[in-house]
Amino acid sequence: MRSLPVRLRIYLIYVMYDSDDSVRETIMLLNISGCQVKG
């Protein structure tokens, strides 16, 4: 259950390195993940 935050951190780092147009995709993914985590 604690593998989600780790993935989110890795994704954030990846986006920081390649912050161009993937920022929107990351935000959408984060929103989706948040919805799934919240239930």
Is residue 37 a part of any domain in this protein? no
Predicted pLDDT of residue 25: 78
Domain that holds residue 16: 1-26
Q: What is the pLDDT along the chain (39 residues), one digit of tens a residue?
A: 456 678 777 877 777 666 566 677 777 777 777 666 554
**Contact assessment for residue 27 and residue 12, using Cβ atoms and an 8 Å cutoff:** no
pTM above 0.85? no
The answer as to whether 38 is a domain residue is no
Whether residue 20 lies inside any domain: the answer is yes
Say how many domains are in the chain: 1
Residue 32 maps to a domain: no
CA distance 1 to 26: 20
Residue 1 lies in a domain: yes
Cite the DSSP H helix spans in 1-39.
Answer: 3-17, 22-38
What pLDDT, on a 0 to 100 scale, did the predictor assign at position 1? 47
